[in-house]
Amino acid sequence: GENVEQHPSTLSVQEGDSAVIKCTYSDSASNYFPWYKQELGKRPQLIIDIRSNVGEKKDQRIAVTLNKTAKHFSLHITETQPEDSAVYFCAAIFSGGYNKLIFGAGTRLAVHP
Amino acid sequence: NAGVTQTPKFQVLKTGQSMTLQCAQDMNHNSMYWYRQDPGMGLRLIYYSASEGTTDKGEVPNGYNVSRLNKREFSLRLESAAPSQTSVYFCASSEGAGVETQYFGPGTRLLVL
């Protein structure tokens, strides 16, 4: 079935450390993988996305890697700051009449000063 | 440019009552979506509208109906609210129905007693 699994569900790091969140997906035809950040009480906002024709994409302190063979992708945040504390969601496009996003269950990241 | 707006922000209903959640976007997007967010379960698609005049079911459509009133507006109706529908509801929009970035509204927090 259509499924995106996300790990870990919670992650606690010290300021300045790196954080890695991993997701796996079930549909080998998926070709678009966005990551959303949701601060407490706010809406999800896109922070980075990757399409299947590339293996890695960077934007300042965040990067996403994609392994299509293994059907997994990861979010990497370097030099974490307290303002990175939020819930992060991965998602993947599933086809079949209509391209719809299926989200992972989320990772609550806490960055401690 | 307000992006995606939703009303109301918060609502309390009694079991069996009905209500309509409103969503509007001013980005001239073709596709619109309704999600619900429950703790530990990420975002789940209720209904979507790929383009004006079309609507279709997502992962969890039972107990809901939608109307794509025009290109800007997409409403979600609960005909007979149940406690299981207590959730945060997010509307989103994207340019098209393909691998497009989805932009979320601020959410409606619904409590059904």
Beta-carbon separation of A99 and B98 below 8 A: yes
Between the alpha carbon of residue B11 and those of residues A23, B19, B37, the distances in Å are 34, 9, 15
Q: Give the pLDDT confidence score for residue B5 in this predicted structure.
A: 97
Residue A43 to residue B107, Cβ atoms within 8 A? yes
What pLDDT is stored for residue B2 in this prediction? 82
Closest chain A residue to B90, measured at CA = A43
| pLDDT at res. A96 | 61
Residue range A2-7: mean pLDDT, rounded: 90
Candidate from A43, A100, A106 with C-beta closest to B106: A43
More confident residue, A77 or A27: A77
Q: Which of A31, A32, A89 sits opposite B42 (nearest CB)?
A: A89
Can you list the positions of beta strands (E) in chain A?
4-7, 10-14, 19-25, 32-38, 45-51, 56-59, 62-67, 72-77, 86-94, 100-103, 107-112
DSSP per-residue letters across B36-101: EE-TTS-EEEEEEESSTT--EE-S--TTEEEEE-SSSBEEEEESS--GGG-EEEEEEEESSSSS--
Average pLDDT over residues A4-28: 95
Mutate which of B30, B43, B56 to disrupt the A interface (most A C-beta within 10 Å)? B43
Reply yes or no on whether the pLDDT at A109 is more than 80: yes
SS3 A82: helix
> Per residue in B5-21, pLDDT tens?
999 999 999 999 999 99
Query: How would residue A93 be classed by pLDDT, with cut points 50, 70 and 90?
Result: confident
Q: Report the distance separating Cα B55 and Cα A34, nearest Å.
A: 24
Say if CB A5 and CB A102 are below 8 A apart: no
Closest partner residue to A51 among B97, B99, B107, by Cβ? B99
CA-based nearest residue to B82, from B97, B96, B62: B62
